[in-house]
Amino acid sequence: MLPVGVPVWWDSANKFLLKDEFLSPVVKAYFGESLTGKGDLFATLVNSIIGQQISVIAADAISKRLVGMVGEITPENISKFSQEDIASCGLTKSKASYIHGIANDSENFLSPNFSEMSDAEINKHFVSFRGIGPWTSEMLMIFGLLRPDRFSIGDIGLVKAVKMLNPSIETKEEVDVFAERWSPYRTAAAWYLWRMLDPVPVAY
Tens-digit pLDDT profile for residues 36-53: 999 999 999 999 999 998
CA distance 198 to 77: 31
What mean pLDDT comes out for the span 165-187? 97
pLDDT for the residue numbered 82? 96
90 pLDDT more than 90: yes
Residue 140 pLDDT level (bands cut at 50, 70, 90): very high
**Residue 38 phi, psi (nearest 5):** -95, -10
Residue 199 pLDDT level (bands cut at 50, 70, 90): confident
83 pLDDT more than 80: yes
Q: Look over the chain and give the mean of its residue pLDDT values, rounded to a whole number.
A: 95
What mean pLDDT comes out for the span 176-201? 94
What mean pLDDT comes out for the span 144-148? 98
Is the separation of the CB atoms in 179 and 162 below 8 Å?
yes
Residues of the chain with pLDDT > 70, as a percent, come to: 100
Is the separation of the CB atoms in 102 and 137 below 8 Å?
no
Helix H or strand E segment including 5: strand 4-5
> Taking the alpha carbons of 144, 145, 148, 152 in that order, is the dihedral positive or negative?
negative
CA distance 35 to 191: 7
